[in-house]
Amino acid sequence: MDQLKEYRNRIDEIDKKITELFEQRMDLSKEIARCKKENEIGILNAKREEEVIQKNLSHLNNKEYRFVLEGFFRNLMNLSKLIQDEENRH
């Protein structure tokens, strides 16, 4: 049971880092939204999204996680688009 607790503690630390990075990414998404609005560029850029996915898949060491990582980044970019859309409403 001590091993399980140790694993959970390690996950908690990783989750904290993920949360910090997530917040930084969303802050940048807001900045991107402002830039796009000023330049009259739409929020969706499917080509860029595919580039981001492929670039991050290439960083993956354990290819077993390929499908899951792709889903993670698709969800993350959808959240970024929601933030950008909300920013453009202000």
| Residue-range definition of the domain harbouring residue 62 | 2-89
| 19 and 36 Cβ atoms separated by less than 8 Å | no
CATH classification of the domain holding 78? 1.20.59.10
pLDDT of residue 90: 79
**Spatial distance between the Cα atoms of 36 and 85, rounded to a whole number of angstroms:** 11
pLDDT of residue 83: 95
pTM: 0.88
Phi, then psi, of 42 in degrees rounded to 5: -70, 160
What does each of the 90 residues of the chain score in pLDDT, given as a tens digit? Answer: 899 999 999 999 999 999 999 999 999 999 999 999 999 999 989 999 999 999 999 999 999 999 999 999 999 999 999 999 998 887
pLDDT of residue 63: 97
| Number of domain units in the chain | 1
